[in-house]
Amino acid sequence: MRRVIRPSRDSRNTKTGRAPNGKPYESVWDFPRPPMIESVEWRIRVRHADVAIVDAPRCLRVLETSQPPAYYVEPEFVDRTLLMGSDRTTSCEWKGVAEYVDVYAGSSVVRRGAWTYQNPTDRFASLSGCWAFYAQRFDECRVDDEQVTSNEGQFYGGWVTANVTGPFKGAPGTLHW
């Protein structure tokens, strides 16, 4: 029998106040399930191999229990000439079918580095055509002026900033939290 370890309430980071980036602390364990979308006026940038892929003055964040936020940017802020379709799709019980693309930056290719929901569920209709990027696959992903880190693993595309606290789902042994 496989033992599933979940974080206890005592192990959850519950900092209060403001983080070094000036934003209030947020615990991923306070994010809702089902997830919610939040619009924020934060600058989002993605660079790889010295090529600017995204520069957006605002974005949508998807907040879901146990996961760092995923950031979605409108297509007008993405250099879509760098995107090439792939054969990968996944299905999210909340958002619908995601389509993945490879990102060509200079002589580098980031396989399945970004995804979009062209026809999301009604509840997530505002994500239609917006793009999200895996922070763990690109040289530089920023929220405002802060370089983000990613959650562990390759399944979730969350971006970890100084104000977002875990523990985070995605590392080995956390899939069934």
Number of domains the chain contains: 1
Range of the domain at 16: 9-78+126-165
pLDDT tens readout for residues 29-68: 999 999 999 999 999 999 999 999 999 999 999 999 999 9
Q: Is residue 69 one of the residues assigned to a domain?
A: yes
Token pair recorded at residue 64: 């879901």
Report if residue 108 sits inside a domain: no
Is position 51 within any domain?
yes
pLDDT in tens, 108-158: 999 999 999 999 999 999 999 999 999 999 999 999 999 999 888 766 789
CA distance 35 to 55: 25
Q: Quick check: is 43 in a domain? A: yes
Predicted TM-score of the model (pTM):
0.90
Residue with token string 């619908």: 96
Considering the domain boundaries, does residue 176 fall inside one? no
Q: How confident is the model at residue 5 (pLDDT cuts 50, 70, 90)?
A: very low
Does residue 85 sit within a domain?
Answer: no
User: Which residue is it, tokens 């790889």?
Assistant: 48
Is 146 domain-assigned?
Answer: yes
Within a domain: 97: no
Cβ–Cβ contacts within 10 Å for residue 119, how many?
10
